[in-house]
């Protein structure tokens, strides 16, 4: 090994071939990324260009953004406008896309799921509705994935109490719409109060970590605030409903009307 290569290996610098092996890209694609402005030029020692972890992070970010549907030109513009290091962008992008709360999905046979719903066979229309709500997902092998086992268990518990699957799904639909409003309220709060001031300041490199920390801390705060507000509103709703129920209970019970056929039969007998 030459002295230059030994120096590169010891100080963390990579030749273009080493960068290709490290990232799983071809040398040709790495050079194409440089031509498009997606990668900064290497640091040249003698006649050899050396790359570093910054280049590795840029390639990782480019892949992640491509997976999100951005084309290479859009990615180039994003990289051009950022003031932070590529590693900071990678970390922030991962934090933004991280699941709000990790929950391992559970997989059921169709017959097993139908039994838990108290029916002989799943209603295809109801199943499609649950997929639209993001609750269930039909797999290619005919099995069904419960994306949120916790939500599925809550639905099964309601069915055991006597609630029909249709009514349970209709309630899930209402909850989904209300939850979307709550989610966007916190997203808008983060964008307006944290991201926009940071963006207007030119995205100073030293503040990337603060922005990412704010995002991480707002996740549990959003859950706590939503649960607390739900408890308040649920208490108010049940109190109002109980007052109405007690008023109704104090009224004389309505006499049940005899069926019309029975009334006609009674008149004929008389």
Q: What is the CATH number of the domain that holds 70?
A: 1.10.1660.10
* Segments forming the whole domain that contains residue 203: 181-247
Q: In what order do the strands lie in the sheet with 106-108?
A: 106-108, 144-146, 136-138
Domain count, the chain: 3
**In the structure encoding, which two tokens stand for residue 192, read together?**
């307006």
List, for residues 208-226, the tens digit of each pLDDT value: 889 989 988 988 898 899 8
List, for residues 239-265, the tens digit of each pLDDT value: 888 877 777 776 776 665 555 555 555
User: CA 52 to CA 41: how far, in whole Å?
Assistant: 11
Q: Per-residue pLDDT for 150 more than 80? A: yes
Residue 57 falls inside a structural domain = yes
> Do 57 and 90 contact (CB within 8 A), yes or no?
yes
List, for residues 101-140, the tens digit of each pLDDT value: 667 899 999 999 999 999 999 999 999 999 999 899 999 8
DSSP state of 14: B
- Helical residues (DSSP H) of the chain, grouped into ranges: 3-10, 16-23, 27-35, 53-67, 72-81, 86-97, 110-116, 124-132, 149-160, 165-190, 196-200, 208-249, 260-269
Q: Is residue 30 located within the same domain as residue 84? A: yes
pTM exceeds 0.85:
no
C-alpha pair distances (Å), 131 with each of 113, 114, 139, 169, 250: 14, 15, 11, 11, 44
Q: Is residue 225 located within the same domain as residue 202? A: yes
**Among 97, 125, 144, where does a domain finish?**
97
């Amino acid at each position: 090994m030459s002295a230059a290569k030994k120096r590169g290996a010891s100080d963390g610098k990579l030749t273009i071939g080493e960068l290709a092996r490290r990232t799983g890209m071809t040398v040709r694609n790495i050079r194409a990324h440089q031509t498009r402005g997606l990668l900064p030029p290497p640091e040249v020692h003698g006649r050899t260009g050396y790359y570093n972890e910054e280049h590795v992070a840029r390639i990782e970010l480019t892949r992640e953004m491509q997976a999100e549907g951005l084309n290479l030109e859009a990615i180039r513009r994003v990289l051009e406008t950022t003031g932070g290091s590529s590693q900071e962008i990678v970390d922030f992008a991962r934090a933004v896309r991280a699941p709000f709360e990790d929950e391992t999905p559970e997989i059921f046979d169709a017959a097993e799921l139908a039994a838990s719903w108290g029916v002989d066979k799943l209603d295809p229309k109801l199943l499609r509705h649950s997929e639209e709500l993001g609750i269930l997902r039909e797999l290619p092998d005919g099995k069904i994935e419960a994306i949120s086992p916790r939500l599925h268990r809550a639905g099964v518990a309601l069915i055991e109490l006597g609630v029909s699957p249709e009514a349970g799904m209709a309630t899930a639909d209402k909850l989904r719409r209300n939850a979307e409003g709550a989610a966007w309220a916190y997203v808008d709060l983060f964008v307006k109060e944290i991201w926009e001031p940071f963006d207007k300041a030119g995205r100073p490199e030293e503040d990337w970590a603060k922005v990412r920390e704010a995002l991480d801390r707002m996740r549990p705060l959003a859950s706590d605030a939503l649960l607390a507000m739900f408890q308040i509103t649920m208490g108010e709703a049940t109190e109002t409903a109980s007052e109405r129920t007690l008023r109704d209970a104090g009224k004389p019970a309505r006499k049940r009307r005899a069926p019309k056929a029975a009334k006609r039969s009674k008149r004929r007998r008389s």
